[in-house]
Amino acid sequence: MDVSRIAPIILFAYKRNAHVLRVLSALAKNPEASLSELFVYIDGPTDDSQSEAVAQVARTVKGFPWPGKMEVITSKKNKGLKESIIQGCTEVFKNYDKAIILEDDIVCRPGFLQYMNKALDLYADEQKVFGISGYRHPSTSNDLNHSFFLPLGSSWGWATWKDRWNRVSFDADAMLARIKLEDRLEQMNFGGYPYFEMLKAQSLGKVDSWAISLYASMVCEEAYFLYPRASLVENIGFDSSGTHGSFSEFYSDSPIVDSVIIEKRSVQLDQHITDGFEKRLEEHYGKKTMLQRAKDTYFMLKTKIGVRFFGIG
């Protein structure tokens, strides 16, 4: 692969030492790792009780034998996931036109970097493509044989371009008003899931999310994410969730493979494929009682585990 076409990798970490070690080890097994510049952003502790855990992560990252060039950026104060990602990505995009973004609970497969770099190259000029996902949502059909587009973003191992990143509005109030004005509420709640409620919660300061803003921007611009036919990543961030297993089981209900071949496809939705993913989400969410839905929404908005899918720190 042409070295000039290799995207930098941005990894966001905090205090989970074992997790970040697994993520780095998996990334390093990708053949393209030696050609990939890695930027690791480590958020600061919220208080003194977390200082040692954060410091241990910094020691682990700095001591890791990354085969390529690596830069570690540590923060003395705790920014939270939203500000860490917004600031980190914006900083890297000052010098690069594209990037692959990971958090410290996303373990990739050996073909992950090849897929992401090839997709970034193929769709660089397609302005309706806001990003590339390494994760694939659950669907009513798992017999897909090619990559496809969905009108839905993903933060579990993804990539984008500088010009697309600059089109994302992180002003929740403005996005909320625009969605109402343009009558995009139904479009926003893909699969009947309460994404619009999450944006409202963001506007009210009840959650601190970056990914819900990315998704809202996609909806308003009628843009898409490219997805692989099967997942190239695994989320290991559900390990401390003993009472919310249904959530982790649902979002883990997708095949995982070591590599995916990609060829450029027309930038349009395949309604049959889209319906399969929307139906799967509706089946999962529609079976729940109103009380269960309320509990799920509260869980999504308030916990580290559930909301990590939406980039809430």
CATH number at residue 158: 3.90.550.10
Nearest to 160 by CA among 7, 46, 312: 7
What is the reported pLDDT for 246? 46
**Contact present, 52 and 121 (Cβ < 8 Å):** no
Quote the DSSP letter at residue 43: P
Report how far residue 221's alpha carbon sits from residue 168's, in angstroms, rounded to the nearest whole number.
10
Q: How many domains does the chain have?
A: 1
Question: Token pair for residue 216?
Answer: 């809202």
List the pLDDT tens digit at each of the 313 positions of the chain: 555 689 999 999 999 999 999 999 999 999 999 999 999 999 999 999 999 999 999 999 999 999 999 999 999 999 998 999 999 999 999 999 999 999 999 999 999 999 999 999 999 999 999 999 999 988 887 778 899 999 999 999 999 999 999 999 999 999 999 999 999 998 999 888 889 999 999 889 888 889 999 999 999 999 999 999 999 999 998 765 333 344 556 666 678 999 999 999 999 999 999 999 888 888 876 654 444 555 555 455 554 434 444 444 4
What is the reported pLDDT for 191? 86
**Contact present, 228 and 134 (Cβ < 8 Å):** yes
Tell me the residue range of the domain where 246 lies.
Answer: 3-310
**Contact present, 227 and 149 (Cβ < 8 Å):** yes
What is the reported pLDDT for 312? 42
What is the reported pLDDT for 111? 98
Strand partners, 160: 99
What is the reported pLDDT for 303? 45
Nearest to 158 by CA among 216, 220, 210, 91: 210
- The full DSSP string for 97-130 is SEEEEEETTEEEPTTHHHHHHHHHHHTTT-TTEE
Quote the DSSP letter at residue 274: H
Report how far residue 63's alpha carbon sits from residue 97's, in angstroms, rounded to the nearest whole number.
28
